[in-house]
Structure formats: structure tokens, C-alpha cells
Amino acid sequence: MCGIAGICQTDASPLPPQCMHWVRAMTARMAHRGPDGEGFWDGARACFGHRRLSIIDLSGGAQPMSSADGDLTITFNGEIYNFARLKEQLAAQGARFATDSDTEVILEAYRLWGVDCLARFDGMFAFALWDQARQRLFCARDRFGKKPFFYTLWGGRLFFASELSALEQIRELPLTPDPQAIVRYLAYEYVPTPATLYAEARSLEPAHMLLLEDGRLRIRRYWDLPCPDEDDRRDPDSLCEELRFLLTRAVRRRMVSDVPLGVFLSGGIDSSIVAGLMAHQSPTPVRTFSIGFREASYDESRYARIVARAFGTEHHERVLDADECADSLPGIISSMDVPMADASVAPTWLLSGVTRQKVTVALGGDGADELWAGYEHYIGFLLAQWYNRLPGPLRRGIIEPLCRLLPSGAGYINPRLAVSTFLRAAHAPAWQRVQTMLTALAPDVQHAILDSAFPGKNTALLAPENLFAPTREHYEHWQPPQAATPLARAFHVYARQFLLDDILVKVDRCSMLHSLEVRAPFLDRDAAEFAARLPLKHKLRGFRRKWLLKRAFADLLPPEILHRNKRGFQIPVAQWLRGRLRPLMEDLLSPAALKAQGIFQPQAVRALMDRHFSGKEDLRKPLWTLLVFQLWWRARRA
């Protein structure tokens, strides 16, 4: 895993010397992504920088790397898991290799197959490749967006980097906050790709390539997630056998490393499967790592210990409390290059730190919830369809008033909050329903708290069709059109939006801040396509989630793990905002701070805080989202 940066002239003129100074500044900002070395390449029209975290071919894989004839040069972040097989195919076609690295395989694959080489790669990657003969810049990002790639055009040049904060190092670049991106962050808890918080900067979408050639910038999709084949009549036993083969192979491929490996182990289904498959293929005890909480309703460490004992792992555990998390929070958020209000950022960052003390690479269960129906929201989506078939007077006159009488709470499960979120989603159009279940600050709340002088106060920006346009794009424009069932489209939204901009961003940034590489076997190309093509009944059967996944690994997992309810990797936000984190929130959301900033209306924000502090309402999501934004904003202004 690494950090990449570079600049390319859009026309035929050479780059000025200043550009290499800028590339060095961008590369230096990402030292945490590659502490094992740095490298630079200076061509006439392009220059690259690279920070290296050595994983494979520790001595021979330095970058940027050029081909033997000097025609091709690449700066690459990631891993190509099937590089050994590709290397054999390329060698059979006459390619010669000077290293054992996957980087050189990309160069030779491009030489032989051109941009179509992307279809052959199974891995996580973002790279930029300069083709001297064609005078072409070829950039690409992996199928799910596990590795980041940001870019901007300015002054007749394209600037790119692995992190947005690297682009911030070039003071001359115009990077202005985008009001539309800010209001979307407040709703989503992140800024949906391809936008960033800056109007001038973009994020290359996953499964897309960027080509800069003949003065033209072209962006093209090279892959999409397959749609479910509801006509698949294969029996569950044969499907289970194929799934076990695919995931076993995916884990084995991700165990290839010249440095120590481990597993993020939560005690849930997904990470337990990864730990079990890894243990069965490792000649030595696997190292597992988990985080626990002192608050019982959030703690899963007991389950992680059960799995560790079952597979004989060398288990490492750390228990967190409010003080430790609160003390770490400002530094964690400030070091993130993008605002990210997923409350599990803090424990993920701390878990990465614990893991990095022992290993350089960790495997995790990311992607399984999105591909195998792990979230309760999938059931909520179905229930909303059924609920709307009930007579209106029954819904509005009896059920909904009774729901308002449910008790509130600050634990992991808050009945009133869960039901009110469900009802809000049930009332929304089908395309909007998925995001409504996840929304932090709804349009009406944003309208109340945004300062009248802030451009985002504009009613048009907060209209659902604009605010949630990224979700609608994924939901309505997924091809092919026959995959039109609402539930299939909900799956697609989770896999192409929430997984991308929340889960994978969180894991990449938190792990790389500790120079740790994290690999996701469930996002293996073949395993993911297998899951995506399955009829939905094999994932969600009644109220049973991950039905086929659990069936396939029933003999591998301890019974306590197989039959337990899912818990998210969260922190006790509601309690901590009323307790240990309250002074921090009072400071960052004080009238003086908000007035000086000019985005939020102080009295309206204060009202939200008071309603939460009273215990009468659970406003953890909007307040946490605001708190994270303020921490991130303060760091950027500094």
C-alpha cells in the first residue's frame, strides 16, 4: 500500500520546474501511506511521486517504475492479487521481468493489452501510467474503490493524489468549499463520489479509467456490478460449495505477503469466516485483533474471544472507554483528508494502531454486509413496502401515534429512534428510501440550522431531488434495466455508494494513518460477482439475512457466532455526547465558533444540543455529524 501523486500537462508543452516541487510537497504529505521509502520521476510532460509501504518484493519494487525501454512509467497504490498468474501469461507472450513485483506486471499488461488490461486485474488499486509513445496519461481505480484517487484541473495541468490533503499542499490551487457538497455531507455523513468538499476537485469513481490524450480528458467505466439472476435454479448445496471455493481462494490470494499478516476480528459472521479460512490455510497461528468497549450494549469482545479460541489464534484485544476515545477524537478527525461522520472511525483508527504494532497487513470482512444482505435496512426496505399497503387511516390514525409512545434510550438499540427512522423512510419514494434510513440531518433540519448567509440555505440545494441526487443516480440508472426490483436496486445503492464512500474510505484512511494495509476477501472479483448474480432469496430469506453465506460456513463457525444478531462496529455516541464529549461539543458548536464560521445558525444548533442533553430525544446522528464537520473544518482552516 502506498501513496501516489503527480502532475501532467494537458497540451504538448513541457512542465515547468515548479511542478516537481509541488509533487514533492504532495508526496511528503502522504508519508504515513508509505514510510518505507519515496521516489520521484520527472518527464517532460508528466512527473510522478510515490510513497512506499513494502509488502511484496521488498527490495525490487521501488516506484515510480519505468519499463526497460523507458516508454512506460507508473506510480501505483495497491495490490494485484492475481499478478503471478498474469505474469505467466505475459511471459508466454514474450514479456521479460526484472522484479517480482505486481507493479511491473501492470506495465507489461498495459503494453500487451492496452487499457483493456483492467478487465484482467483482481485487486485493489489506483494508479497513473505515462505512455511516452502515445503521449497518454492512463489512470484507473479498482472495481469497488478500495484505493482512492483525487484529481483537479488547473492552469492547463492535471493534478492527482491518493489523498485530498495532498492537493491542499499546493497553495496556488484554487480549492473552494462547495455548498452542495457540504449539505450532502450533512445528510450522508460523507461527500458522495465523484464530488469532494472542494468545488474544483473530484474523486475518480470506482471501476473507471481516466485518459488524458491529445488535450482531451476522458473518463470511462470499465466494469459494473452484475445484476441478480432470478432465473438461477441451482440448488443451495451446489451454491454453497462454489461459495466456499471462491472465498477460500480469495483469502489464500490475500495471504501472499513478504511481511506479517493478521485479521481484524469483531466476532461477527464476516470477520469470523475470514479468520477461520485463514487459520485453515496458515502453517502458524493466525494473529487476530479486536476492540472492546466498557459499555456492555456495544461490546463484542466476548464473541471475538470465542472465535479466537475456536481457531487457535494469537489474539490481541484492547478495551476502550470514553476518555480514551474523546482524547483521540480531535487528532483522528483532523488527520482525515475528508470529513467522515461514521462513528466507527474512532475505534477503527485505534484498532489499526493496535494491529500495526504486530503486523503490516490485516484481512477484514468489509463488503460482506453490502453483498450478502447484512444490514437491517434491507428488512426495513421490505417492511416499508408492506407497510404502505396498509389502509391510510390505520397507519396515520393508530400505528404512527402509538409508535411515538415508544421509549427512547442511549444504548445500541433505541426503539423510538429506530421506528421513527423507519416511518420517515416508508413515507419517502422508493429511490429515496435507502438513504432516508441512513440520513443524519434531514432537509428540514438542515434548513433550520444553516445560516441565512450560507449559500447552501438555498431551498433548491436542500430539495430531496437535489440533496439525494447521487442515490437516485445509482438507484434508477443501473444497467441492465431488467434488474428493476426495488430490493435489487437497494442492494446496488449500498454496494456502489455506502460501501464506497463510508466503509472503504474509513478503512483506508484509518489503516493508512498507521501504515497498515487492509485487504477485503469478500470484495474479490469472482466472489463479489458470484454474490451479486445470486437470486435475492439466497441472501435475504424472510427476516434471515446472509442466508446462503451462513449456510455455506455453518460447519466452520462456532454456534454462538452463527446464530447471534449482527452488531455494528460503533461507539456509544449518545451517552458520550451527554458526558465525556460534551465539553468538546460545547466548544466546537458554541455561538462564538459558529458565528465566526458563518455556516450554521447558533440558536438552532443550541436547540438541538439542549434537546439531546435533556434525554427526551436521541439526536446522536445530527450532533455527531456536526461535531465531526467542525473538527475537520477547524483543522483545514488551521
DSSP letters along 160-205, please? EESSHHHHTT-TTS---B-HHHHHHHHHHSSPPTTB-SBTTEEEPP
The pLDDT value recorded for residue 124 is 97
Average pLDDT score over the chain: 90
**Domain chopping of the chain, boundaries:** 2-221, 236-373+506-562
Q: Determine the topology of domain 236-373+506-562 in CATH.
A: Rossmann fold (3.40.50)
pLDDT band, very low/low/confident/very high, at 579 (cuts 50, 70, 90): confident
Q: How far apart are CA 502 and CA 342, in angstroms?
A: 7
Lowest mean pLDDT across 196-205, 260-269, 411-420, 498-507: 411-420
pLDDT band, very low/low/confident/very high, at 59 (cuts 50, 70, 90): low
Matching residue, cell 461459495? 243
The pLDDT value recorded for residue 563 is 87
Q: Provide the angle, in degrees to the nearest 10, between the axes of the packed helices 102-113 and 83-92.
A: 50
Q: Which residue from 75, 20, 25 is spatially nearest to 47, judged by alpha carbons? A: 20
pLDDT band, very low/low/confident/very high, at 419 (cuts 50, 70, 90): confident
- Residues labelled as active-site residues: 2
CB contact at 8 A, 627 and 581: yes
Does the pTM exceed 0.85? yes
Residue 502: half-sphere exposure toward Cβ, Cα within 13 Å: 22
Q: How far apart are CA 274 and CA 365, in angstroms?
A: 7
At 220, phi and psi to the nearest 5? -140, 135
Q: Which residue from 159, 192, 163 is spatially nearest to 178, judged by alpha carbons? A: 192
Q: Does the pLDDT of residue 91 top 80, yes or no?
A: yes
The pLDDT value recorded for residue 580 is 86
At 54, phi and psi to the nearest 5? -75, 125
The total number of residues shown for the chain amounts to 638
Q: How far apart are CA 232 and CA 305, in angstroms?
A: 38
Which one of 3.30.1360.150, 3.30.360.10, 3.20.20.70, 3.60.20.10 gives the CATH number of domain 2-221?
A: 3.60.20.10
Q: Enter the C-alpha cell of residue 468.
A: 439525494
Task: From residue 115, give the alpha-carbon distance in Å to each of 16, 123, 137, 202, 565.
Answer: 29, 16, 11, 22, 44
The pLDDT value recorded for residue 356 is 96
The pLDDT value recorded for residue 417 is 63
Q: Does the pLDDT of residue 323 top 90, yes or no?
A: no
Is there a shared CATH topology between the 2-221 domain and the 236-373+506-562 domain?
no
